[in-house]
Amino acid sequence: MTTKLMGEPVARVEDDRLVTGKGRYADDLMPGALEMAVLRSPHAHARIRSIDVDAVLDVPGVHAVYTYEDLEGPMAEPLPLLIPHPALTHGRTQYALAKDEVNYVGEAIAVVVADNRYLAEDAVSRIEVEYDFLPPVVGIDAARAAEHLVHEDVPGNVAAVMEQSFGDAEAAIASAPHRLSLDLTVERSACMPMEGRGTVARWDEDLNRMSVWTSTQTSTGVRAAVATKLGLDLGQVDVVTPDVGGGFGVKIVHPWPEELLVPMAAKALRRPVKFTEDRREHFISSAHERGQQQHIEVGFDDEGRVLGMSVKFWHDNGAYTPYGLIVPIITSTQLLGPYKLPNYKVVFESLYTNTVIVTPYRGAGRPQGVYAMERTMDAIAAELGMDRTVVRENNFIQPDDFPYAHGELTFQDGRPLIYDSGNYPEMMRKARDLVDWPSFEKFRDEARKEGRKVGIGIACYVEGTGVGPYEGGHVHIETSGKVKVSTGLTTQGQGHQTAFAQIVADELGVRFEDVEVVTGDTRRSPYSVGTFASRAAVMSGSAIALAARNARAKALRLAADALEADVDDLEIVDGIVRVKGAPDSQIALGTLAVLSNPLRYAFDEASRAATQFAVGDPSKPPVAEDDEPGLEGKDYYSPPRSTFASGIHAVIVETDPETAEIRILKYAVVHDCGTLINPRIVEGQVHGGVAQGVGGALYERMAYDETGQLQNASFMDFLMPYVTEVPESIEIDHLETPSPLNPLGIKGAGEAGVIPSSAVFAAAIEDAEGIPITAMPISPSELYALRLAHSSTTSHERTAS
Amino acid sequence: MKPAAFTYQRPTTLTQALAAYAAAPEAKVLAGGQSLIPLMSMRLTSVPELIDINGIEELSHIHVERGQGVRFGAIVRHAQLHAHAEAREVQPLLHAALSHVAHATIRNRGTTVGSIVHADASGEMPMIMSLLGGTLTVASVEGRREITAEDLFIGPLETSLQAGEIAVEAFVPALPARHGVAFDEIARRHGDYALCGVGAIVGLDADGAIEHVRAGYVSVSETPAVVDLTGCFPDGELTEQGLKDAAELALTHLEPEADIHASAEYRAQLARTLTTRVVAAAHADAGARANAEVTA
């Protein structure tokens, strides 16, 4: 029997290639293509009075310059609002090139196509634009104050107000034995993939066909957008995703202006055209996330059980809303975490500011929701003088409560918010063990004697993963016995090749090395959605498993004929179908692939066996009426709703009493993503997520000044953590509560590592310092300021009393 | 992020380079390029002509003169100087400070002389020149001259080099007997520009009493700041009060400013904390060295 691969820490087959520089990214493709550079608005808010491109036209090497005036048909319409929602009453999207007005520093105004990027940038610097300045709205305070408007037809800068509730939160809070309120803020950060955006396009005039290679999380989405905007039939457009150097959410947004302008120029100029975003452009023209202000009211009993919770938050959506309300909807629903609340109300306002758009970044609104809930749990524990883990346990949904519905709430996929499975009490037991929670006070006492300050934090989360609508899988067994697998969603380095090959090897009974996986190629998989919301393993993993089962069923049927055996007596081991207990009676999958495709022509020795004078019952059609040629399986997986992964993080920090530097002493993660396909990959995802979480909690912010200029638009001043800033080791324990919603019991794992970071670090620093931490991220300079403010307040209070 | 067009030449002798520079006063001299190239790529500066001195063999020397000091040419990389055992022995503060210059990859290419003439007060090496009283040798078609560190740094990112002058060599004096040094800095991330950095040199007399204390500061002044703290230790002893006084005295000479990474108050706090830590460490180092010298 072949060794089972599901659940094994198989080494990633991608890595040799990727870490030795053999990856092929968009910018590596088609050397010699013309290159595009973009003139971006230097102002956060202005009306464009005029654009003068005359000085560009005579620059040698320049092939074209485009402004809004040059856009035709659907290209001249605003970019799509990808996910409409009834509450999004004032949704706005930008134009591919600004029409009349710019609303953030970085908004595209004109593009130049030249022999190379150097010349294109030279030419861009010669374009002259006259602006009438408008007052910029920067930050949530300014958006709420609404003294100035981002869009003059959007009153109060409010894109949407949305409310969801169950029970009667206000009444429950009013009658609760204990009440608290909290005001919290989270600042902006961004995905910051190593590879920025990039698109290459070639128009084939002879075949009347557009080929686009783009660094995206959805090739089918880009395909539909390019076809629609350029007036082409879907069948004329191929979109292929080459290696992608990280996405983390920003590349699910589509079409970016450049993703349309590049193919548009390629068609007009009949030359391949390329756009490769540089780092400054990524900072000022891609997407950010996370910025929110939150106000929480909570009522609870003597055991810390929440009786009612009412949350209002203000979400900074930037200048436009191409991705709808997904991020704040996720915050408002995933805020509930692993807790059983009898009464809950959440209201959010999604607000415009003159800054870069806000769309999902790994975690996608969950870090903010978890921050709100977990800081509330900590506050309840502090108020009651209870252990923070006990307060949480007293609120947990219990294992026999599943499936558990949070009232009538609707999740981001438009489906009811129903948790499929989980075991939160067991997870808490594991977390407490992993971080040695009971011994911490002893450690704190010892540290205190040495003049050291240490603190511990813990935070729980539940993550809705694997959202629909669907993904597909195609498994094709070649006559060589090699197995070619295709799924339409794209890969940004997650290890799909490895994980999907593990699934196919197990389901089909073939060797892992014989399975090759292709992702994100619309020529192979025209029907697909994309890679986001920790959905690839759940969605494509399930679809591929179903497809492999179909291929297996066909192989067994063909083999049963060939071996004159009963299907039930057959097994497939290492690509050979054999009769159980009669190993001599066997046939290779490759041979079955030959036989599955009745031939008129023989091309080699193997295919002779399938030609018309060699096989077949002359009395029957070579392909039976209900059959198809070829040995392949295809299927789609479409879940009724999301599956909910969960986890707990704990961290121990030390803060320097003099310099307020924050050092991580221990980081522990308990994680439940259902059935594990590959624990090594899952742990890699957790490590990467924790690293990004450390960044978001302790280092990264978007430092906009009051005029809307991003002051830290480079890796020198935007402080992504280096390996030297992330914990040296991350202790991980797994729990596996399979999902009942899909054939393999999988839940998503991609985003989990980053979700509770702000909550858990705020808790640990608060614990070390004895000062409430209500704004994240926090820097040593800010912690120092808090210390000064706190000591002056407490000394003031002392004086007053 | 592509630079605008520029002309480029790579002379192989200093004479050629000086002639080229004399003929093109708008040109920039390229050594390690760790500051210049990003500025050009981001089009924050436009450079019509680059004179690349990396091919000039005669600028690649490290000469250690025992009892005198360390001389190093204009294309010596931070990493080479950092790894030079003899240089470290003769002036240990060089090694200590170079450990904090950015990341290994930047130290592999960036030059110490280049960093000195970039004259960034948030760079370690300009401060080290000032603290140690180093000198810079510059050359032009007119000849050579030496500039003391004191005369070199005349403003933020500004030196007293004249048109046509290329920095060819720097010299830092050896650590005298019964002296000790220390360096520390605090940055947001490993390898980032320091929010505040402090280097100190402490000299003891034959009886082990403090004879003089000086500290140099990174990132808390417009030009490299050096403060004489000797007066804070009137009895020649390192006391807690003395360290406290030293920290406060130092602050009166510094102008910490706020930026997006730290408030002015926080930088001042770091200057205080680092002054006490680094002066104490330099004092301990001086004691250890003095003992070792006696034993030897």
Domains and CATH numbers, chain A: 15-134+191-285 (3.90.1170.50), 292-467+640-796 (3.30.365.10), 471-637 (3.30.365.10)
Which residues from A are below 8 Å from B186, CB to CB? 659, 661, 780
pLDDT at A793 over 80: no
Which residues from B are below 8 Å from A697, CB to CB? none
Q: Is B1 in the A-facing interface, judged by CB distances under 8 Å? A: yes
Tell me the helix, strand and coil percentages in chain A, rounded to 5: 30, 25, 40
Return all residues near A347 (Cβ < 8 A) that are at least 6 apart: A161, A162, A163, A311, A312, A313
Residue B205 and residue B105 in contact, taking contact as beta carbons nearer than 8 Å: no
pLDDT at A342 over 80: yes
What is the per-residue pLDDT across A510-540, written as a single tens digit (0 to 9) for each? 999 999 999 999 999 999 999 999 999 999 9
Find the residue in B nearest to A783 (Cα). Answer: B266
Q: How far is A118 from chain B (nearest CA, A)?
A: 5
Q: How far is B186 from chain A (nearest CA, A)?
A: 9
Q: Do B191 and A724 touch (CB under 8 A)?
A: yes
What is the per-residue pLDDT across A262-320, written as a single tens digit (0 to 9) for each? 999 999 999 999 999 999 999 999 999 999 999 999 999 999 999 999 999 999 999 99
Which residues from B are below 8 Å from A780, CB to CB? 186, 188, 262, 266
How many C-beta atoms lie closer than 10 Å to residue A576's C-beta?
Answer: 18
pLDDT at B296 over 80: no
pLDDT at A611 over 90: no
For position A795, what pLDDT does the model report? 67
- A801 confidence band (pLDDT: 50, 70, 90): very low
For position A1, what pLDDT does the model report? 43
Find the residue in A nearest to B271 (Cα). Answer: A659
Joined together, the tokens standing for residue A229 give: 């905007």
A655-677 average pLDDT score? 97
- Give the Cα separation of A487 and A489 in Å (integer): 6
Q: Which domains does chain B have, with CATH numbers?
A: 7-52 (3.30.43.10), 57-173 (3.30.465.10), 179-295 (3.30.390.50)
- Give the Cα separation of A487 and A527 in Å (integer): 9
What is the per-residue pLDDT across A195-223, written as a single tens digit (0 to 9) for each? 999 999 999 999 999 999 999 999 999 99
Q: Is B296 in the A-facing interface, judged by CB distances under 8 Å? A: no
A380-391 average pLDDT score? 98
For position A798, what pLDDT does the model report? 53
Q: HSE-up of A266 (CA within 13 Å, CB side)?
A: 29
Best residue in A781, A784, A791 for a mutation probing chain B (most B CBs within 10 Å): A781
B223-232 average pLDDT score? 96
Find the residue in A nearest to B195 (Cα). Answer: A781
Q: Do A784 and B263 touch (CB under 8 A)?
A: yes
Residue A471 identity: E
* C-alpha gyration radius of chain A: 29
Question: What does the angle CA B218 – CA B26 – CA B145 come to, to the nearest 5 degrees?
Answer: 60
Partners of A312 in beta bridges: A295, A347
What is the per-residue pLDDT across A693-745, written as a single tens digit (0 to 9) for each? 999 999 999 999 999 999 999 999 999 999 999 998 999 999 999 999 999 99
- Give the Cα separation of A384 and A306 in Å (integer): 12
Best residue in B260, B274, B276, B278 for a mutation probing chain A (most A CBs within 10 Å): B260
Share of chain A above pLDDT 90, in %: 91
Mean pLDDT of chain A: 95
B189-203 average pLDDT score? 97
What is the per-residue pLDDT across A149-165, written as a single tens digit (0 to 9) for each? 999 999 999 999 999 99
Q: b/e for B50-69, b at 16 or more Cβ within 10 A?
A: bbbbbebeebbeeebeeeeb
Classify the complex by whether its ipTM is higher than 0.90, answering yes or no: yes
